[in-house]
Each structure stands twice: as C-alpha cells, then as structure tokens.
C-alpha cells in the first residue's frame, strides 16, 4: 500500500505542476549535466515509473537492471524486461558516452534485445514501439542518477515528446527518493506525467525472477 500511496502522491504533484508549466515545451536534452560513476551504482534496480509510451504500455510490464558498470566507451547494464504475454527477455545494453550524463545507445542484434521492445507475442512487429526504439538508438539519451536513490533515462521521441523511464533500487521507493527524482527532472526542464509499472502493484511478478 505504501508504494501505491507514493505513486498517487507523485501523480498528483505532477498534475499540479503541469497546470503551471507549459507542457508544450520542445523536447531538448540539456547541455550541462552531471557525470555518473556507474561503478558506484550497486545492487539491483527496478523500473517503477514511465511515460506510458508505446513500449511500456503494451507488453512490457516491468524491468530489472543488474551488473551496472563503467566501460571504456561509457557504460553497460544487464536488463531483464518482463512481458505481459511472452517470456522475460534478458540482454546486455551498451551505451557510448557523448559528454557528462549524455549517452548514445548501441542497438544489439541479440534476439532477446530485438524481441524485448518491438516484437509482439504472436511474432509480429509493434510499429509504434519500433518508432520509440528508432528514437532511442538514433539520438541522445539523458541519464540522471545520484548513484543510490534514482536512475532516469530520458530521450526525445520522433514526435518530439519526452520518453522517460525511471528506476529505483526498490519496487517500493520512499517519498524522499521520489522527491529527489522529481526535483532533478524539474531542474532539467522535464515536465511529464509518469505512470507506475505493473510490477509495482504486482511485485510477485518481479520476485519470480529470483
């Protein structure tokens, strides 16, 4: 129940702020951002909030992030995406660093990677989700992380709207952790409506991976 109250609180806060701030502001990655030492981002992280984009609102119900570390080019992370109607997919994501806090995603040819976002359970392709992937791998990705409370990946869709995925080191983040995350988004000029992943309300789905 605490997690649900947290989600309700942040949703109401974002709604109130959205009334005062022009949400039509053009999506643009900020120039000045903080560097991240990925070797300090320990333990497992979980997708908790997202902008309900075509990837997240269809088949992906949650994600788990593990083995985060620095590389010579930037960073790497092992991701397990949970799906509504198909088996979980685990793959390794590599990102190349452009400048502090800004990365370029490298698209993998791993079948698990390709299946995780755009393939439908019946073997077809979700064209709307593919457009999100096209934006993800053809533009800059803003990473915001204080190394212990929140981890945000944000990028611009092909229609110039923010796509934001937020992870925490728990499926049940505290009000303090959510506030730190939201304050950082505001600082960067990112005003969006966020929605809880299905694994927040059904943590047993994520626990089945252990």
What digits encode the pLDDT tens for the residues 110-168?
A: 566 666 666 666 667 777 878 888 888 889 999 999 999 999 999 999 999 999 999 99
- At 209 the pLDDT is 63
Average pLDDT over residues 170-174: 92
- Is a pLDDT exceeding 50 seen at residue 22? no
- At 61 the pLDDT is 86
31-50 pLDDT per residue, tens: 999 999 999 999 999 999 99
The domain that contains 198 carries what CATH number? 2.40.128.20
Query: How many domains would you assign to the chain?
Result: 1
Q: What is the DSSP string of the chain?
A: -HHHHHHHHHHHHHHHHHHHS-TTPPP---S------GGG--S-EEEEEE---TTTTTTEEEEEEEEEEE-SSEEEEEEEEEESSS--EEEEEEEEEEETTEEEEEPP--HHHHHHHTB-TTS-B-HHHHHHHHHHTSSEEEEEE-SSS-EEEEEE-TTS-EEEEEEESSSS--HHHHHHHHHHHHHTT-----EE-HHHH-THHHHTT-
- Is a pLDDT exceeding 70 seen at residue 15? no
- The domain of 152 spans 2-207
């Amino acid at each position: 129940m605490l997690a649900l109250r947290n989600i309700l609180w942040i949703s109401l806060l974002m709604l109130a702020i959205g009334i005062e701030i022009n949400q039509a502001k053009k999506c643009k990655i900020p120039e000045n951002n903080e560097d991240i030492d990925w070797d300090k981002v320990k333990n497992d992280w979980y997708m908790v909030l997202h902008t309900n984009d075509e990837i997240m609102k269809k088949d992906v119900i949650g994600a788990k992030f593990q083995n985060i570390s620095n590389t010579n080019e930037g960073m790497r992370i092992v991701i397990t995406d949970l799906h509504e109607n198909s088996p979980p997919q685990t793959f390794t994501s590599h990102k190349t660093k452009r400048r502090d806090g800004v990365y370029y995603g490298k698209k993998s040819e791993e079948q698990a990677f390709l299946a995780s976002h755009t393939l439908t359970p019946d073997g077809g392709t979700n064209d709307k989700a593919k457009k999100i992937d096209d934006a993800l791998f053809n533009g800059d990705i803003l990473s915001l992380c204080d190394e212990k409370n929140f981890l945000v990946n944000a990028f611009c869709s092909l229609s110039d709207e923010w796509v934001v995925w937020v992870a925490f080191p728990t499926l049940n983040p505290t009000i303090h952790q959510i506030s730190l995350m939201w304050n950082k988004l505001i600082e960067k000029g990112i005003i969006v409506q966020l929605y809880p992943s299905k694994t927040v309300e059904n943590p047993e789905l994520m626990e089945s991976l252990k």
